[in-house]
Structure 1
Amino acid sequence: MTTVTTHEIRRAGPRFGAEVVGVDLTRAVDDATADELRQAFQDHKVLVFRDQNLTPDQHVAAVRIFAEPFDHPTAAKDAGNPLVYPYNVRQTGKASTWHIGGLWRSPVFAIESLTYEEVPALGGHTLWADLQTAYDGLSEPFKVLLESVGAVYDADPQNYAQGTKRSSVTETVEHPVVLEHPVTGRKGLFISTSALGLTGVSKEEGKILLDHLLRHASSPDYTIRFGWNPGDFVLWDNQATWHYAVDDYGDGARVYRKVIGVERPDAA
């Protein structure tokens, strides 16, 4: 059954991020609501839906509102749905660095999403930074320079799989450090802490530029922070933001499921 909803988009920060209230994603939403959610996602880049308690199948259906769920070649898969990837940080380790998902491929994932199952009593929040606003904060001459600069990353998806020991880099992929968003056309920084180096400049210049860009893009001026309860669902624009899972909860539990989305072939 398709459910007609009356909902509210509550801004969570002055620059980006919002909580969606009044939408039950355990049931199919009507077309008008789906259109409004997609617009809200473009506007706010990070959307949080509290107390959804999605099953794996419902999680996939929720992501399908926004993008095409992606079959990851190396991620451990949920027994009930191969498009769902379960994580338990006590086994898989923590991702406590600023990063963008899917840098081993081009284009990277359009969106990433999580459904939380267990969270620590205190701590375990997640930070996002708005890479487009960070780009806006650069000087015009610096923007011109960055248009000709790329960043190089490991192209082996196995080295990004949960709980695996990284092998040496044998193949690389290059991404521009300034990305024009494929949906909105807005320019933003596109950089991650896993960058192996920059192209278009000397090695020495690249080190200086990379250090500056990483610090600039993670500035508190461009960030938003969310805390979690079991059942919460969040999705974010992986081409306009990067994120950081705060490791301040010791050996506490953090269990969640991830579903990734890529652009649909007919999205253009």
Structure 2
Amino acid sequence: MNTNLETTKERPTVKSSEAFPNYTLPCRIFENVDVKNLTQEEFEEIRKAVPQNGVILIKNQHLSLDELVAWTKRFGEPVELADGLRFNNFHKEYPEVTRISNILPSGELLQNYSGAEYWHSDGDFWQAPKNYVFSCLYAEKVPPKGGETGFADLRLAYNGLKQELKDKIKNLRVWVSPKNIPDFEGAKDDELPPDAYHNIAYLHPETQLLCLYFGCTASDIEGLSREDGQILLKELMAEVEKDEYIYAHKWSPNDLLIWDNTSTMHRSLGGYGNYPRLMYRTQAYVK
């Protein structure tokens, strides 16, 4: 496709927090792009790049919350979560927006915040096909050190499994209960959606590639005891965490990351102590 979008496909030079020094999987980068003023052809190139690459970066955006929501709607229906599932969000007029920050609504800094510092897939608590969710994360304030976000490629992780392990999970389903999701602690029961079930050897709805999909290790496996399920999930997580499957994004202000939650897992890599960090996340059920 001939467009004017400038992209970088080679491996960028990035460094994660000190605990993760070797995560260097490439991310496709779009530069000299204004997402508020894209032709349909230009948008389609970005749209196709998300499932193809798993995660993409669009540099130097300057977005209001209205503009971030409008951008998200181009991918599909925006996800609106109950208040108890949206962390310390106080923008009630924007039910599509989740505020990701260690800055409290009062302006006070939440000390030693460590939210989302575990591998997970957003939307795993929705039953397919509703779990095919793209997430957009826009950086307004970034810390001078730490605060990276890690992404694991679940297609590479599945391909790298030994055949014995592929055979073991071939007919198994992960059982995701929102009550077990760490970030949803404190949510009211009536705010939680029903449990969801997914094939662990998950066929991506668009690329038709198999992915290793289980949400997070707080999940269970249908038909296995909790103990046996945890043993298997931790074995699979050890595969996901291999350095060669990971991209660690070092944030700059006004970065806009977009990722496919069925072909990647992600986590905060922490390490920013009590420096302020402020980001806004929107999500879309992909059409």
Place the TM-score, normalised by the shorter chain, in its bin: 0.7 to 0.9
Are 1:65 and 2:74 matched, yes or no? yes
Distance 1:259 1:142 in 2: 35
The separation in 2 between residues aligned to 1:68 and 1:41, in whole angstroms, is: 16
Question: Aligned in 2, Cα 1:222/1:206: closer, same or farther, shift over 3 Å?
Answer: same
> For residue 82 of structure 1, what is the aligned residue in structure 2?
95
For 1:191 and 1:208, the matched residues in 2 are separated by 13
Structure 1 residue 152 corresponds to structure 2 residue 175: yes
Instruction: Please give the per-residue CA displacement for 1:80-111, whole angstroms capped at 9, x wherever unaligned.
Output: 53322222224474211111112222132511
Code of the aligned partner of 1:73: A
Instruction: Tell me, yes or no, if the aligned pair for 1:191 and 1:214 is still in contact at 8 Å.
Output: no
**Unpaired stretches in structure 1, ≥5 consecutive residues:** none
Task: Report the AA paired with residue 238 of structure 2.
Answer: R
Please give the secondary structure, in 1, of the residue aligned with 2:281. Answer: strand
For the residue of structure 1 that corresponds to 2:147, the secondary structure is coil
In structure 2, C-alpha distance between the alignment counterparts of 1:65 and 1:160, rounded to whole Å? 27
Specify the alignment match of 2:44 in structure 1: 35
2: CA distance between counterparts of 1:77 and 1:106?
Answer: 28
Q: For this pair of structures, how many residues does the alignment match?
A: 258
The runs of at least 4 consecutive aligned structure 1 residues that moved more than 3 Å come to 12-16, 90-93, 155-161, 166-172, 200-205
Give the superposed CA RMSD. Answer: 2.8
Q: Residue 63 of structure 1: CA displacement?
A: 2.1
- Offset at residue 141 of structure 1 (A): 3.3
Instruction: Please give the alpha-carbon distance, in whole angstroms, between the structure 1 residues aligned to 2:134 and 2:180.
Output: 17
Matched-pair contact (CA < 8 Å) for 1:118–1:254: yes
Letter in 2 for 1:83: E
Residues 118-133 of structure 1 mapped to structure 2, 5 A cutoff: 118-133=141-156
1:56-205 aligned within 5 A:
56-74=65-83, 75=86, 76=89, 78-91=91-104, 93=113, 94-107=115-128, 108-156=131-179, 160-161=183-184, 165=186, 172-201=195-224, 203-205=226-228
Unpaired segments ≥5 residues, structure 2: 12-23, 105-109
Give 1:8's aligned residue. 6
Distance in 2, matches of 1:186 and 1:119, equals 34
Q: Separation in 2 of the partners of 1:128 and 1:103? A: 16
C-alpha contact 1:156 1:171 (8 A) present in aligned 2: no
Distance in 2, Cα, partners of 1:60 & 1:241:
22
- Note the C-alpha offset of 1:196: 3.3
Deviates more, 1:177-186 or 1:87-96: 87-96
Aligned identity (percent) is 24
Instruction: Give the conservation status (yes or no) of the 8 Å contact 1:109–1:239.
Output: yes
Cα 1:51–1:142 change in 2 (3 A) is same
Length-normalised TM-score, structure 1: 0.85
CA distance in 2, matches of 1:79, 1:205: 42
